Amino acid sequence: MFKMKLKQISVFLENRKGRLQKALEVLGNANVNIRTLSIADTSEFGILRMIVPDIDQVQSILEEHNFVVKVNDVIAVGVPDEPGGLEKILGILNRADINVEYLYAFAEKKVEQAIVVLRTENIDAGIKALTEGGASVLSSDEVYEL
């Protein structure tokens, strides 16, 4: 089960001009290749969430530059890159009565599928429901190798 969890790193961004760019500049300078990202924004602050290959390295680089970061588990699911693909996944979770806190997705041309990154309140319960429901939960290695 453990290998099915994907690590995500989140960065606190003050709602101020140039802060996102600054974070990305730090990562670019360290040659970090971001697999995918999403930003949650409120009127007062933003949360930059990223999937990156070497999460420990990214954490220390960002912390060195005074960013507040948090690493936590998320679930990656491979979804056929066609209409209705995501709906099927959400249906599984809905039937298992599991709330999705947030999700974001990216399409991967090489394998003709989309990768959906999901955050459920209880990650283990989410993985269990998805696996049993026949979804293709990806291991972190699978995501990084894409």
Partner 1 sequence: MIWNEEAECRAAEEKEELQLKRLQEVVKRAYENVSYYKKAFDEVGVSPEDIQALNDIEKLPFTSKTDLRDAYPFGMFAVSPDDIVEVHTTSGTTGKPTVSGYTQNDLDLWGEVMARSLTMAGGDRTDRIQNCYGYGLFTGGLGVHYGAQKIGATVIPISAGNTMRQVEIMQDFGSSILTCTPSYAMYLAEVLEEQGVGPDKLNLKAGVFGAEMWTEEMREEIEKRLKLSALNIYGLTEIIGPGVAQECYKKDGLHIFDDHFYPEIIDPESLKALPHGSKGELVLTTLTREGMPVIRFRTRDITTLRPGKCECGRTLVKMDRITGRSDDMLKIRGVIVFPSQIERALLKIEGLHPQYQIIVSRPHQLDELEVQVEASPVLFSDEVKHVEGVKRNIEEHIHDEIGLRVNVSLVEPQSLPRSEGKAVRVIDKRNL
Interface residues for partner 1 in 10-39 (CB under 8 A)?
10, 12-14, 19
Going by the DSSP 8-state scheme, the letter that residue 82 receives in this structure is S
* Closest distance to partner 1 from the beta carbon of 129 (Å): 20
Closest CA to 102 of 75, 140, 80: 75
Percent helix, strand and coil across the chain, each rounded to 5?
A: 35, 40, 25
Nearest residue (CB) to partner 1, 31 versus 66 = 66
* Closest distance to partner 1 from the beta carbon of 125 (Å): 16
Going by the DSSP 8-state scheme, the letter that residue 56 receives in this structure is H
The DSSP bridge pattern shows strands 100-108 and 69-80 to be unpaired
* Closest distance to partner 1 from the beta carbon of 121 (Å): 9
Interface residues for partner 1 in 47-106 (CB under 8 A)?
47, 49, 66-70, 72, 101-102
